[in-house]
Structures are given as C-alpha cells and as structure tokens.
Amino acid sequence: MAVQSCVLHIDLIHDLSSGAGGKYGRLFPDLPGLVCDENDLLALGRAGAAIDALADDAANDNPRIAAGHTMFGHMIAHDLTADRSLLKHHASMRAIHNFRTPRLDFESLYDAGPSGAPYMYDMEDPDKFLLGATENGNAIDVLRNPQGKAIIGDPRNDVHGIISQLHLTMLKLHNRIVDHLRTEGVAPSEAFSQAQRNLRWHLQWVALHEYLPLTVGEPLMRDILSDGPRYFRPRSSQPFIPVEFADAAFRFGHSQVRLKYRLNASASAPIFPDLAGGQPIPTARAVDWKYFLPLDGAVLPQLTKRIGPHLPHTLIDLPEAIVGPAPRQEYHSLACRDLLRARALNLPSGETIARHIGAEPLSSEEAGLADFGWKSETPLWYYILKEAEVRHAGEHLGPVGGRIVAETLVGLIDADPTSFRSADPSWTPTLPSRKSRTFTLSDAVALATSPHAVQTASA
C-alpha cells in the first residue's frame, strides 16, 4: 500500500491516533462562512481551467523573491500544520487534529531528538544528525531506508527533491553548529540543546525578518512587529493554528511554484514527476543553491512566480503517490483541494474578512469570478491570490492575506516561551552573516555548504 507524503491514504485514516500536535481554531469566529457549491469550486480549480498554468511565462516571475524562499515557506508550512483528514465537509472543527505542534520550533527537523528519535541521529555522535548518501565525503541526500523513504522528522519534507535538499542543508547546518560549539568549549551535555536552540532562533529570525517582509511587504510587517497582532493573540498555554491560515492564506505559496527548476549547472526538471520524493537523489539532481538564492554574484538565481490565481500544471495534476486513489479526477488538482479545504471549514469569503479588518474589499470586477458565472463572494484562498495580483502585481500578499499570514507567524512565535522573542527579546543573530546583526536564508545555506567551519560566537 502506498503511503502518501502529504495526504493520508484512505485506508489508513482509522490508524490515526492523536499525535503530540494540537488544535485548530478560528481567527474570525464571528464571521459567517461563504456558502458556495462544490461543483463551482471544482470548475475553478480543475485541469484546463484558467488557474492551470501550462507554460512558464517569464513575465510572471516575481522580481522581489528568489525561488529558494518558496522552499523555506514550504518547510514552515510543514512545521506548523498537518491536517491528515479526508477532503470532506467538517461539521465540527474538533473533528480535525493537527499532527504538528503550533510552534515554529522546527520539530520537522528534530522530531523527538536523539533520545526519542534515535534512528535520525548518529549513534557514534548522537548530538549530530546522521546524513545519507555521500559523494567525495559530502552528504548529497537525507538518510533513507532500503526502500528509499526518507528517515526525517516530517515525511512531507521529502515530497519532492528540492525540499528534501533544503532539509538536508538544515541538518548539515545543525551539525556544523555542534562542531563550532565544541571548539568554543561548550559542555558535552549541552552541545545538542544549544545547537538546536541556536538553529531554531536563527531560522525564526529568517522567518520574521526576511521571509515575512518579502511575503507580506515591509510596511505591514513593521506595523505588526511594533504594535503586535490585532486579531491573533493566543495565550502561550493554548496556542492553535488558525484555519484561515492553514486552509487558505498560507497556501498562497502554491502559486509561487515554478513549472520547472534549474537544479544545478547541468540539470533542470519539473517538480513532478521528475523530482517526486520517496527515492534517493541522484548526484546529477543534487541542488546547487546558487540557482535558488543570491549566493554567487556571477549567477542570478531563478525567481518565484508572482502570487496570483495560477498554479503550475504539475500541481494541478498531482501524482497518485501524493493524493492517493482519488474518487474524482479534480482531487488531483491542488487548487481544487485548497478550495475544498476552505469550504470544509466554512471559511468566510475574502470580502467579508476585508470589511472586518477595515481593508477595501476587491470589487467583483477585480475579484474576476463573475467571468466564470460565479454569483457569490470570493472563496478566501482565491481572494488572497487575486488580492496580491490586483493590489501588488503579485509581488507580495495584500491586506487580507498579508495580515492572516504575518499575524499567525508572529503570534505563534510570541506565544512560544522558548522562542527568541519570548526567551531573550534583545537577542540578535550570532552566526556569521554577510551583514552584521542580521541573518538570512542565504547565510544559513552558505554556512551549511561552506568548506570552512563556523567561525564566530554562538547563541
């Protein structure tokens, strides 16, 4: 029986037990849900519909955001939310369970640590991750079992070859930080926990100070960091993932995905079927990050696609290995799945939320659904894509999408007593970076892949 990376096989649904994760909740519990017909949603998201981008149009590249950030966003999504329920209408939100903790703590890298998940760590040096296949002494793949499945903290980080390469890069960075702490004389009993905290805090910094400003725009981010979230203020004892985030807003990232990726100097490939996960990465397809991030002045990294109502055809026709034996062809379309999830949770329309937060709602011409015979207001996920396109030429999210995404991430980090913003609010990055007192995804990747050891003070 195939076990899918992202969606649970129908036959396994009864095997689910309550994991260590948490609950979902609502950001806007008092707003009415959008009433719409399932068939209208399927018509909007199916193969061949306007949302299905069959060709890679260079004019649709987003000049603000390098392609590596899509993969970091994908990792964040997997770290926060795992709804493994079937695609159907949920009468009660309590019926769904989040198999992830509502914290940006990178449990998807660490799982239960060397004691709880020893198979991911090096038996001879359990402070470090065990890595997979090597070439010239350098690991080129994550650890895999004899059947090719990745032995990592979240199987979805092996749904395709690019995210599994980013996962590998983060594991390498952790191992490097352990080496560095040892040269600094950190007590052996502290090396793992200090390296883990160090990597978590640096990645939280990247999320808050690089990823979010790129994704939602600097002004909104400044506003939320200085005045705090307006709608999402979970108590640290009861954090939760808002369904408006997991089932609509943060799925904006699907529209950033490219039809094809340059992996290194000699290989390019689409995510599916070529780079489908669950199998070893051949050397020829190992990712060279300079094609994804600004790491080398001589190479312009490829870009994300602009945020908008389009998904690459590869995501409109997902392989059965991911969606399972779907009863309807439309269930292979990630756009249909995104639209159906929001309907299953009875999410409000984008216009309803815009009015509630005091933003100017898109007009029906701007939302553009009347052209498809649509009579009601706009489903939240589609609205957020369209809002980004209409308000910011798809370069970043607009007021509704941006607020849900930024408030959720900031609110979760602030509610986590172990995050740098709670535990040590004056902390600034300590790992080497190109610009002092800050840290970027490019810095993380450069440190993990550099032939030289980490040189500066630790957190």
Site residues (CB under 6 A) for ligand HEM? 6-7, 70, 73-74, 77, 81-83, 87, 159-160, 246, 250-251, 253-254, 256-257, 271, 315, 318, 322, 334, 337, 341
| Closer residue to ligand HEM, CB minimum distance, 191 or 347 | 347
Residue 324 vs 348, nearer CB to ligand HEM? 324
Amino acid at 80: L
**Residue 440 and residue 323: Cα distance in Å, rounded?**
34
CB of 7 to ligand HEM, least distance (A): 5
Nearer to ligand HEM, 338 or 414 (CB): 338
SS3 of the chain: helix, strand, coil, percent, to 5: 45, 10, 45
Nearer to ligand HEM, 410 or 459 (CB): 410
Smallest separation, CB 152 to ligand HEM (Å): 16
Nearer to ligand HEM, 159 or 353 (CB): 159
**Cβ contact 310:252 at 8 Å:** no
What is the H or E stretch that residue 287 is in?
A: none
Provide, rounded to whole angstroms, the least separation between the CB of residue 58 and ligand HEM.
Answer: 19
In sequence order, the β-bridge partners of residue 261 are 269
Pick 163 or 178: Cβ nearer ligand HEM: 163
CA-closest candidate to residue 384, choices 343, 355, 406, 354: 354
Q: How far is the CB of 436 from ligand HEM (least distance, A)?
A: 29
Closer residue to ligand HEM, CB minimum distance, 246 or 347:
246
CB 164 within 8 A of CB 71: no
Q: Which helix (H) or strand (E) holds 312?
A: strand 311-312
* Angstrom distances, CA of residue 144 to CA of 152, 168, 279, 320: 8, 12, 8, 21
**Of the two residues 69 and 386, which places its CB atom closer to ligand HEM in the complex?**
69
Per the CB < 8 A criterion, the answer to whether 427 and 459 are in contact is yes
CB of 147 to ligand HEM, least distance (A): 21
Measured from the CB atom, is 176 or 337 closer to ligand HEM? 337
In whole angstroms, give the CA distance from residue 107 to residue 22.
13
Give the nearest distance from C-beta 363 to ligand HEM in angstroms.
27
Whether the Cβ atoms of residue 429 and residue 199 lie closer than 8 Å to each other:
no
Match 């995210």 to its residue by tokens: 163
Q: What is the three-class DSSP state of 319? A: coil
**Which amino acid type is present at position 180?**
H
Residues 6+ apart with CB under 8 A from 164: 141, 142, 150, 152, 157, 158, 277, 281
Residue with Cβ nearer ligand HEM (313 or 337) = 337
Q: Could you tell me the smallest distance in angstroms from the CB atom of residue 77 to ligand HEM?
A: 4
Residue closer to ligand HEM by CB (options 180, 258) is 258
User: Cβ of residue 83: shortest distance to ligand HEM, in angstroms?
Assistant: 4
The least CB distance from residue 97 to ligand HEM, in Å, is: 11
Q: C-beta of 310: minimal distance to ligand HEM in Å? A: 14
Rg (CA), the chain: 21
Query: CB of residue 358 vs ligand HEM: minimum separation in angstroms?
Result: 25
Tokens found for residue 168: 């590998």
CB of 257 to ligand HEM, least distance (A): 5
Q: Which residue is nearest to ligand HEM (CB)?
A: 253
Cα separation of 55 and 372, whole Å?
22
Q: In whole angstroms, what is the distance from residue 38 CA to residue 23 CA?
A: 26
Q: Name the nearest CA neighbour of 271 among 140, 158, 139.
A: 158
Contact 362, 378 (CB under 8 A): yes
Nearer to ligand HEM among residue 194 and residue 215 (C-beta)? 215
Expressed in angstroms, the distance from the first to the final Cα of the chain is 45
Q: Coil, strand, or helix at residue 225?
A: helix
H or E segment at 24? strand 24-25
